[in-house]
Amino acid sequence: MKDNKQIKRGRGKPPRYAGEEQERLSIMIRPRYKKALEMLKQHRQCNLTEATELAIVNLASDYEVDGKPLIDYVRPESEPFRRYFEHAISEEFLHADVKDDEETLLQNMRFLELNKYLEETKAIPASILGNFESFNFRILESLAQQEVNIWKYLDKDALSSAIKEDWKEGRAESDCMMLILLVIKVAKAYRLFGAKNKLENFNFQGNKPVEITQKDSEQLQKWLSSSEWKKLSSCFKIQ
């Protein structure tokens, strides 16, 4: 896992993205389309740069060139997955011993923190909460119904940052949830792989392989490197 380092940026400047420098672009557009961007900016509660990028990403995702979405020519298909995979998986979860009593305490702490966040956020009026904050809350609330203690597996701050990037690109909540749940399965498999290599005479009894679908398997083989998949494949059980 890579360290989740924040990129420094100048005061008042829009955020920069890892490996990319934003470029200034001067264009002329008709007043009606400028108005549309301003309305999008206002509705999303974001800046004009983010509104413009959102419009471009959505068009490029739907617009096909030679049978392939335009977005796939400029952005790796695996990028949204790897954003969660490389930055959001909790190092505490990966490195804790499988049968460590301290993990139970950590798990309870993360569970209480998540519930506190959900309860406090639910009490804030939607009109005050803001566009992204509402998006983030809805995803975490829905995830908590499927995977009760998601902050056990994923670092809460890094997870929120990754969700924000998806929000900026207009990704559907259901797609975000699919990616996050898959990354949690990968985190469990990495934990299992570490246990296999750490403990002598390890077997899967009490540490069952992580169940994934055939579709999950196909996607992971595309999004993970061959060495990453080789490590984890024995820790998965295809349903």
What's the confidence (pLDDT) of residue 12?
39
Beta-carbon-side half-sphere exposure of residue 70 (alpha carbons within 13 Å): 10
SS3 state at 219: helix
Give the span between the Cα atoms of 210 and 224, in whole angstroms: 16
**CA-CA-CA-CA torsion sign (160, 161, 163, 164):** positive
pLDDT at 141 over 70: yes
What's the confidence (pLDDT) of residue 135?
94
Domain residue limits, the chain: 31-74, 79-200
What's the confidence (pLDDT) of residue 48?
93
Inter-residue contact 70 to 64 (CB < 8 Å):
yes
Region 130-151: what's the mean pLDDT? 90
What's the confidence (pLDDT) of residue 21?
79
- Better-predicted residue by pLDDT, 22 or 210: 210
Helices (H), ranges, the chain? 31-44, 48-62, 71-74, 79-87, 91-95, 101-122, 126-129, 131-146, 150-153, 156-168, 173-198, 214-223, 226-232
pLDDT, tens digit (0-9, with 9 covering 90-100), for 197-237: 654 444 544 568 899 999 999 999 999 999 999 989 989 99
Q: How far is CA 117 from the centre of its chain?
A: 18
Region 70-98: what's the mean pLDDT? 86
Q: How far is CA 44 from the centre of its chain?
A: 20
- Better-predicted residue by pLDDT, 215 or 17: 215
What's the confidence (pLDDT) of residue 59?
94
pLDDT, tens digit (0-9, with 9 covering 90-100), for 29-83: 999 999 999 999 999 999 999 999 999 999 999 999 999 999 999 988 899 999 9
